[in-house]
Copies of this chain bind each other. A is one copy, B any other.
Amino acid sequence: MDSHTEVYFEASVGGGIPIIQGLNEGLSANHVQSIFGIINGTANYILTKMGMGKSYVDALREAQAQGFAEADPSLDVNGGDTLNKLAILASLSFGERIFPDEIYQEGITEITAQDIRYAQEICDHEIKLLGIAKQRENNLIQVRVHPTLIPSQHLMAAIKGVFNGIYVIGDALGPAMFYGQGAGELPTASAVVSDIIYIARSIHLQVAGRLPSVYYRPKSGQRILQVEPISELDSQYYLRFTVKNEVGVIAKISNVLGEKNISIQSVIQKGQDQKEEVHLVIITYTAKEKNVVSALEIIDRMPIVTHSTLKIRMEKIDD
């Protein structure tokens, strides 16, 4: 692209929230250390409604009836829309192009209203679909989209319904959050018109094409930042097993977790009143993703396990 062409895209992430300019200019003195974004209002609306007891299907139908979700809501609920927006946020934050196909993606379609209630009851957490980008040591970065348990007391947990919030941690600024409506005619227009006013001010003085606020490192030759594979992630996990209502189930499952170096913080059995099968919810201490995956491969083949296990990563956000 011609260096004298300026492209503005404030409405591309977070609707009317001035997050693009915030990252480009307001936080220009910072090295961004991490970003946590609730940047798909439809998914957040569905999770909020499920937190009030609605089923996934009913919550989705309601989102469509309200005009939030598209007739085909795939990109909203499978994390694809969040992923595309995270690619923009991560690129601006880290000063290097992060491409969508480098980002780990998981949606909310496996989450049930029960999981949201368990998370609240067992460890006072909420489930949010987050886009997460983190600087790690040795020029590694994490870029991932997945449902996430976050502490109910955290400000991000208070973002309800179709609202969006982008939580940024800068090395100088510390944590900051930008909050507002992520979609809708007028909020989007608010962002687009702010871009037009900005560029009109430049054109008025014939200074369009001024020094851009973001620099990417050279793309040719070697790239500096590398994406850490999701298998290397260290995280706490919420694991929801669906098992036969039999004695000894906890022992069998926890044996496998122990063999894979996964320590258990708490185990709760739910649905004892149901005769045939029960839920077993395990919160782990910090474990390696690949160990959790390989433990679940073993566990999910056990005859006592009646459905494949749901695993949700946990984030403290401010740690």
User: In the assembled complex, which residues on chain B have CB atoms less than 8 Å from the CB atom of A210?
Assistant: 201-202, 204-205, 207
Task: Flag if A29 contacts B194 (CB, 8 Å).
Answer: yes
User: In the assembled complex, which residues on chain B have CB atoms less than 8 Å from the CB atom of A175?
Assistant: 180-181
| Residue A22 is within 8 A (CB to CB) of chain B in the complex | yes
Contact of A179 among B155, B192, B197, B202 (CB under 8 A): B155
- CB under 8 Å from chain B, chain A span 149-163: 155, 158-159
| Residue A243 is within 8 A (CB to CB) of chain B in the complex | no
Task: Flag if A177 contacts B174 (CB, 8 Å).
Answer: no
CB-CB nearest 8 A-B residue pairs: A18-B26, A29-B193, A176-B180, A172-B190, A177-B179, A207-B207, A16-B173, A173-B190
Nearest B-chain residue to A188, judged by Cβ: B172
Nearest B-chain residue to A202, judged by Cβ: B210
Q: Contacts A178-B178, A205-B211; is A172 near B189 (CB within 8 Å)?
A: yes
| Residue A80 is within 8 A (CB to CB) of chain B in the complex | no
- Chain A binding site: helix, strand, loop or mixed by DSSP? mixed
| Residue A25 is within 8 A (CB to CB) of chain B in the complex | yes
**A–B Cβ pairs within 8 angstroms, 5 of them:** A10-B26, A16-B176, A176-B180, A177-B180, A204-B211
Query: Assembly of this chain: how many copies?
Result: 2
Task: Flag if A29 contacts B189 (CB, 8 Å).
Answer: yes
| Residue A17 is within 8 A (CB to CB) of chain B in the complex | yes
Q: How many residues of A contact B (CB 8 A)?
A: 46
17 further A-B contacts with Cβ under 8 Å, apart from A30-B190, A173-B190, are A16-B173, A18-B21, A21-B26, A22-B26, A25-B197, A29-B189, A29-B193, A155-B179, A170-B190, A172-B189, A174-B187, A176-B180, A178-B178, A178-B179, A202-B210, A205-B211, A207-B207
Q: Shortest CB–CB separation between residue A95 and chain B, in angstroms?
A: 14
| Residue A274 is within 8 A (CB to CB) of chain B in the complex | no
| Residue A186 is within 8 A (CB to CB) of chain B in the complex | yes
Nearest B-chain residue to A207, judged by Cβ: B207
Q: CA of A171 to CA of B202 in the docked complex: distance in angstroms?
A: 25
User: In the assembled complex, which residues on chain B have CB atoms less than 8 Å from the CB atom of A172?
Assistant: 16, 186-187, 189-190, 193
User: In the assembled complex, which residues on chain B have CB atoms less than 8 Å from the CB atom of A3?
Assistant: none
Q: Shortest CB–CB separation between residue A92 and chain B, in angstroms?
A: 14
| Residue A198 is within 8 A (CB to CB) of chain B in the complex | yes
Q: CA of A252 to CA of B290 in the docked complex: distance in angstroms?
A: 71
| Residue A27 is within 8 A (CB to CB) of chain B in the complex | yes
Q: CA of A164 to CA of B143 in the docked complex: distance in angstroms?
A: 28
User: In the assembled complex, which residues on chain B have CB atoms less than 8 Å from the CB atom of A187?
Assistant: 172-174
| Residue A272 is within 8 A (CB to CB) of chain B in the complex | no
